Amino acid sequence: MDGIKGNLFVLIRLMAWVVATFASLFATYLVAGAIGGAVAAPGWQARPANGVTIFVESNGIHTGIIVPKRAAGIDWRPLARADHLADPRYGAHDHLSFGWGERGFYLGTPTWADVRAQTILHAAIGSDRTLVHVDHLPRAAIGDRVRAVVLRPEEYRRLAAFIAASIAPGGVHRRGYYGYDAFYEGRGRYTAIMTCNAWTGAALRAAGVRMGRWTPFPATVMQWL
């Protein structure tokens, strides 16, 4: 009997150590993300008065970049086609929202209510199975979750090149959450360091937008805009 109690005590102590370790790592991650998001990356330029207007959006989990379907010599229509949608009528909208993320996390967490610990852990460990989420939208209205950014034509082309490089060639796609969106096979490895929001920050930095050095969370992206 004493042996059973002793083994149980050891097991409880081990579980407590595991929980404390994970809590410490998570707290460290949050602090590191806040610091990385608060320090501006070098190389950004002041925004021009005129140019291509894009928008950055957040749903509280994922961030995305909204761009016109045609601007500065870039035409997204051959890639994001109306017949890829559950309701092709949405293909008449003149803007697209792009977001990149881990396949299981993207497909399984359309809202906060769908977030599960095992989904987060699986994505954080790392995955080469990534998707690009594309919404067909009208021009966005600026608000708490949508910010406008004006880019020079050459900056917009750099942004477009970054987005295009994140999409696997071949046009493999699947229907999205609703009638107006679709998922495309992505490129790149998703990790706790390279999250969907870190991707958004990296895309904006590539275009020359003032942004944090590392933006793993939605807030670390939106605070700059």
| Residue 51 φ/ψ region, left for φ over 0, alpha for ψ in the -120 to 50 degree band, beta for the rest | left
Burial class (CB within 10 angstroms; exposed 0-12, middle 13-18, buried 19+) of 10: exposed
pTM: 0.86
| 7-37 pLDDT, tens digit each | 666 666 666 655 665 566 667 767 777 888 7
Q: What is the mean pLDDT of each run of 10 residues along the chain (225 residues)?
A: 59 63 66 81 89 96 96 97 97 97 80 64 77 95 92 98 96 90 96 94 97 95 96
Q: Would you state the structure tokens that stand for residue 26, as one six-digit string?
A: 């998570």
Residue boundaries of the structural domains of the chain: 39-222
